[in-house]
Amino acid sequence: MEHEEQGKHYTWSENLEMEHEEQAKHYTWSENLEMEHEEQGKHYTWSENLEMEHEEQAKHYTWSENLEMEHEEQGKTIHRSKVNTIRGVRI
């Protein structure tokens, strides 16, 4: 990946880059949420947003993990080896 040398986890920008490479979009999930909910002035990371939505489950999924789960039936594989997590719980 483009940010592999920087040791970054799979971010929303990386996933957007893969999905919409031709558009050369590089949004972080927090930036994307900021645009969608600009009036609310929210700056959530994907893991934080999931934590709020599923606080009772205390789950901290990265976007790549969520993509894998949502598109598992479609046979899409997200490389989770770059994500330092244990079954969705961020370390």
Q: What percent of the chain has pLDDT over 70?
A: 0
If pLDDT is split at 50, 70 and 90, which confidence band does 67 have?
low
Of 71, 74, 69, 73, residue with least CA distance to 85: 69
Of 45, 55, 60, residue with least CA distance to 11: 45
If pLDDT is split at 50, 70 and 90, which confidence band does 16 have?
low
Segment 7-34 shows an average pLDDT of 48
Q: How far is CA 37 from CA 40, 44, 48, 64, in A?
A: 5, 10, 15, 22
Instruction: State the pTM of this model.
Output: 0.11
Question: For residue 72, what is the DSSP state?
Answer: G
